[in-house]
Amino acid sequence: MEHKQGIRTTHGRGRLFDSVLETIGDTPVIRVNNIPTKGATVYVKAEAFNPAGSVKDRLAVNIIEAAERSGTLKPGQTVIEATSGNTGIGLAMVCAQKGYPLVVTMADSFSIERRRLMRMLGAKVVLTPRALKGVGMYKKAAALAKEHGWFLASQFETDANADIHEATTGREIVADFDRSALDYFVTGYGSGGTISGIGRVLRKERPETKIILTEPANAQLLGSGHAQERETNNAPAVSHPAFEPHPIQGWTPDFIPAVLEEAVTGGYYDELIPVAGPDAIKCAQDLAQKEGIFTGISGGGTFAVALAVAEKAPAGSVILCMLPDTGERYLSTPMFENIAEDMDAEELAISMSTPDAQLE
């Protein structure tokens, strides 16, 4: 965006798009200006700029298009997937545009607005008991796929997951920092595709960049050192013993995904730093109120860790952290518990300051 005589100007994108799917990716990297960053320069990669509002749009379109190319997904076939929400929302967008019916299985512990968004986009949402956790919703999806002959998207196992982050997200980061230092990259994990795909690129093209991975402090699956039990198809066999419920929706299901294993065995991260849920929520609120950057609890989590890295990093370090989604799909979560619906005392005082203009 350029300024002309003090007025912001834009020039268009220089192209016309054939479908909403062509708008996925090329999300902006934005500098943090008002929150103290301990002598470092901190940037965020804002994945909310994807058309359905999250980083999972990338995964969703690649799963469907890879299956189309291989012939495993037939025209008009129903797609099914287990998801905490963002992958389901992305798949609902993709399936709506391409004409595939979509069924999503999701534990009933995840935010209500997520299931409503998927239904708004035409998907069917089958809720599973929260006591059965992520493994429960996964097994329900697999059973439904087998029973009805549906295409199981398999975000936690498919090569299409990390591949799209290698081809797009990782390439974007390298291009955007082509003339800049990039000392640290910070991300969390859900299915593991972001860290595995970006890790491939950064390890090869920016080997000086230290990669920091984070997970919830009360659900440290990788930090526990306990291996995940798997079925023969790499699906999780049981819930991981280190898992506990946590507020960082989209992160760390109750199993270690097969896609994430590449990052572990390949050494794609230099340090694993846990983050507490309240810290993640506080940082998401700070980004909104001090930077005008609206992200969810997971984005707050990565930003909290980025600030912790900045505190110990050499002065002048450049840090990039992933913000996976938008804050609007967290309205019914603890992130909004202290955000009032009605006017508080200060707002009432502002209203009463013009008594002749009171609303009846």
- Exposed, middle or buried: residue 239 (CB in 10 Å: 0-12, 13-18, 19+)? middle
Query: Cα separation of 114 and 94, whole Å?
Result: 16
CA separation, residue 170 to residues 9, 240, 241 (Å): 29, 29, 32
Query: Cα separation of 256 and 275, whole Å?
Result: 17
- Exposed, middle or buried: residue 215 (CB in 10 Å: 0-12, 13-18, 19+)? buried
Structure token digits, residue 148:
């009805």
Catalytic residue among 45, 54, 56, 84: 56
Q: Where are the alpha helices (DSSP H) in 99-166?
A: 112-120, 133-148, 159-164
Is 298 one of the catalytic residues?
Answer: yes
CA separation, residue 316 to residues 37, 39, 40, 305, 312 (Å): 10, 6, 5, 17, 11
Is 56 one of the catalytic residues?
Answer: yes
Structure token digits, residue 238:
């049981």
Q: How far apart are the first and last CA of the chain?
A: 43
Structure token digits, residue 93:
């967008």
Catalytic residue among 84, 111, 154, 298: 298
Task: Cite the active site residues.
Answer: 56, 298
